[in-house]
Amino acid sequence: MSALPLIAHERPEAVLAYRAGAPISARRFLSEARALADRLPAGAHVLNLCADRYRFTVGLAASLLRAKCSLLPPSYTPEVIRQLRCFAPDTFCLTDDAQCAVDLPRMLYRESEPCAEAAPDTSEWSVPRIDAAQSAAYVFTSGSTGAPLPHHKSWGRLVQSVRLEALRLAPIDRGGCAILGTVPAQHMYGFESTVLLPLQSAGALCAERAFFPADIAAGLQALPRPRALFTTPVHLRSLLAAEVALPQTDLIVSATAMLTANLAREVEDRYGAPLLEIYGSTETGQIAARRTALELEWRLWQGVRLERRDERCWAQGGHIEQLTPMADVIELKGEERFVLHGRTSDLVNIAGKRSSLAYLNFQLNAIPGVQDGAFFVREDEPASLAGVTRLAALVVAPSLDTPALLERLRERIDPVFLPRPLLRVQALPRNETGKLPQQLLRRLVAQAAAQAPDLFA
Amino acid sequence: MEQAIPKPTTTSADALELEIAQLIVQGLNLPMSAAQIDPEAPLYGEGLGLDSIDILEIALIVSKQYGIVLRADNQENERIFRSLRLFSQYVAAHRTK
């Protein structure tokens, strides 16, 4: 069985990460990963919640060295944690937050001396190799029946995926590129592009997660060139809205939700850097990219193919483990190009977090006291400054007041999907087949808004 | 996308608190009126129930309105998002316009 190196850095002094602008060498990283690997608990599954991206990466490397599999669920609500315990009862949580209250056995991880290259490390330089077939991660989607669906990621496929990604993202393909991310390492996009990509392209990750516009500017300023920003449409809009100046950046990458060509052009004009957009799914990982300001068509990673069967498009080849249906409406344009026409109707994407109406409805209706309830998309609502439109929900639950209902819901679903507004009704406008026409739902909301305008700002 | 934001005219802490509450309710499309926000309740998570995207929106609003620059590594963040009152006090102390 083949084995692939944990990192692509060829020299011990190569920079693998930056924290507060200070470089951390590949040698130090490997020695910290080996030391942590010796201390990890016995369980074979790990929920790595380290918010610091460097610590997350040390945790991932230590887990790989001990053949432990990382779990990446879509959220950390008590209900999802309970489901993780059912999926893998030996799961433990690795965290860098002493206040972490996740209901799993927890191990607190903080390096003894962060940042500093302490005493000269004289350990022998050798890069560990990990069996390509080893289970590196399970990434979960929310599914439609209430239980998260696991998607298996072997080490070999993950490595292949980000090596194919690097080929498309100059200057990352040349190695030594510093990468700043606004997405957490625990999200599939952040996991691939801000953790695995720097490891496998001999680049450098940035320990801090940039969040506010001023963080992005300062974070990039602290990194040497070539430097790249991996972000989302929400953060790009917030950068433009805040009118923040960025230092010269060599590449900007966006994913999680579709960019418009207008936004892409505005970003390229303002910051003078090419903006590449990545397309993928939790099931397949990333599979294609495009220069959104200049082209409509996406180009697949080398070796990946899309094929139309029944109504859907299926992906295979390259790093994809098995033939996988895509949840988007896709128009094929030859062997390696396609146009994306949006998502199928049940799927929702709020600020880059994905779920399905079926899943959200299941969770709402599983709350004791809820007789009927449904989420829906408010297309009439104007987007906010950062361009985010929230979901709304109608619910029949005479015995629960609204704060109690929201509290129960918060235990089950990611807060980004909490309804705004949550409307109390006597009955849902179901048609004869039990379906809820979206038009009727919107009319009900309009009526409620007319009756209580102060609830609708 | 440009939203109508009233010009700041406040002189007292209470008025600033209400003004910020109005900006938040308006900017985030919250299903409530400004006066309904409990000034002592947490803004984030339980309480008002805002999430990290809301916090990003609030950062944009207060940067446009008051010239406040929020940073993720600010040790005070946990404290200032603990309630509308504390947030309002932070704005009063750091506003540049």
pLDDT above 90 covers what percent of chain A?
63
Mean per-residue pLDDT, A389-414: 89
Q: What is the pLDDT of residue A25?
A: 96
| pLDDT-derived band at A456, boundaries 50, 70, 90 | very low
Q: What is the mean pLDDT of chain A?
A: 89
Strands A337-343 and A328-332: antiparallel
Higher-scoring residue by pLDDT: A348, A2:
A2
Does position A124 have pLDDT exceeding 50, yes or no? yes
Amino acid at A315: A
Q: What is the pLDDT of residue A345?
A: 66
Judge if A71 and A103 occupy the same domain: yes
Judge if A447 and A328 occupy the same domain: no
Q: What is the pLDDT of residue A50?
A: 97
Does position A19 have pLDDT exceeding 50, yes or no? yes
Interchain proximity B46–A455, CB inside 8 Å? no
Judge if A262 and A393 occupy the same domain: no
Judge if A302 and A435 occupy the same domain: no
Judge if A277 and A393 occupy the same domain: no
Residues of B with CB under 8 A from a CB of A: 1, 3, 25-33, 45-46, 49, 51-53, 56-57, 59-61, 63-64, 69-73
Q: What is the CATH number of the domain that holds A396?
A: 3.30.300.30
Residues of A with CB under 8 A from a CB of B: 208-215, 218, 234-235, 238, 241-242, 350-351, 381-388, 390, 406-407, 410, 415-416, 418, 420-422, 454-457
A230 DSSP β-pair partners: A181, A253
Does position B3 have pLDDT exceeding 60, yes or no? no
Mean per-residue pLDDT, A257-279: 93
Does position A207 have pLDDT exceeding 60, yes or no? yes
Judge if A144 and A210 occupy the same domain: yes
- Domain final residue, candidates A309, A343, A377: A343
Q: What is the pLDDT of residue A168?
A: 95
Nearest CA-CA distance, residue B57 and chain A, Å: 6
Judge if A319 and A389 occupy the same domain: no
What does A333-397 look like in DSSP terms, one character per residue? -SSSEEEEEEE-TTEEEETTEEEEHHHHHHHHHTSTT--EEEEEE-TTSPP-TT----EEEEEE-
| pLDDT-derived band at B7, boundaries 50, 70, 90 | low
Judge if A391 and A334 occupy the same domain: no
In A204-311, the DSSP E strands lie at 204-206, 227-231, 251-254, 275-281, 285-291, 298-300, 304-309
| pLDDT-derived band at A352, boundaries 50, 70, 90 | confident
Interchain proximity B71–A388, CB inside 8 Å? no
Q: A145 lies in which domain range?
A: 3-343
Q: What is the pLDDT of residues A325-334, one digit of tens each?
A: 998 888 999 9
Does position A230 have pLDDT exceeding 70, yes or no? yes
Q: What is the pLDDT of residues B41-89, one digit of tens each?
A: 888 876 677 788 888 889 999 999 999 999 988 888 888 988 999 999 9
Judge if A327 and A242 occupy the same domain: yes
| pLDDT-derived band at A231, boundaries 50, 70, 90 | very high
Does position A161 have pLDDT exceeding 90, yes or no? yes
Domain count, chain A: 2
A100-104, A112-116, A412-416: range with highest mean pLDDT: A100-104
Put simply, whether the predicted model's pTM sits higher than 0.90 gets the answer no
Q: Which residues of B touch A420 (CB under 8 A)?
A: 29-31
Higher-scoring residue by pLDDT: A313, B46:
A313
* Interatomic CA distance for residues A406 and A408, integer angstroms: 5
Q: What is the pLDDT of residue A115?
A: 45
CA proximity to A267, closest of A283, A291, A284, A288: A291
Interchain proximity B53–A418, CB inside 8 Å? no
- Domain final residue, candidates A308, A343, A378: A343
User: CA angle, corner A343, sides to A340 and A348, nearest 5?
Assistant: 145
Q: What is the pLDDT of residues A66-89, one digit of tens each?
A: 999 999 998 898 999 999 999 999
Q: What is the pLDDT of residue A445?
A: 72
Q: What is the pLDDT of residue A385?
A: 73
Determine contact, residues A71/A45, Cβ cutoff 8 Å.
yes
| pLDDT-derived band at B1, boundaries 50, 70, 90 | very low
Task: Look up residue A221 and give its two tokens.
Answer: 């300023």
CB pairs under 8 A between A and B: 91
Q: What is the pLDDT of residue A432?
A: 64
Q: What is the pLDDT of residues A237-247, one digit of tens each?
A: 899 989 899 99
| pLDDT-derived band at A457, boundaries 50, 70, 90 | very low
User: CA angle, corner B79, sides to B75 and B85, nearest 5?
Assistant: 140
- Domain final residue, candidates A309, A326, A343: A343
Does position A365 have pLDDT exceeding 90, yes or no? no
Does position A443 have pLDDT exceeding 70, yes or no? yes
Judge if A290 and A398 occupy the same domain: no
Judge if A361 and A329 occupy the same domain: no
The structural domains of chain B, with segments of one domain joined by +, span: 14-22+41-94
Of A225-234, A287-296, A417-426, A441-450, least confident by mean pLDDT is: A441-450
Amino acid at A218: A
The phi and psi torsions of A171 (rounded to 5 degrees) equal -95, 15
Interchain proximity B57–A406, CB inside 8 Å? no
CA proximity to A333, closest of A342, A322, A341: A341
Closest CB from B25, B33, B60 relative to A241? B60
| pLDDT-derived band at A454, boundaries 50, 70, 90 | very low
CA proximity to A17, closest of A187, A177, A255: A177
Instruction: Please give the span between the terminal C-alpha atoms of chain B, in angstroms, as a whole number.
Output: 22
Interchain proximity B73–A209, CB inside 8 Å? no
Tell the residue number behind the tokens 């409990």, with chain if given. Answer: B38
Does position A455 have pLDDT exceeding 70, yes or no? no
Does position B2 have pLDDT exceeding 50, yes or no? no
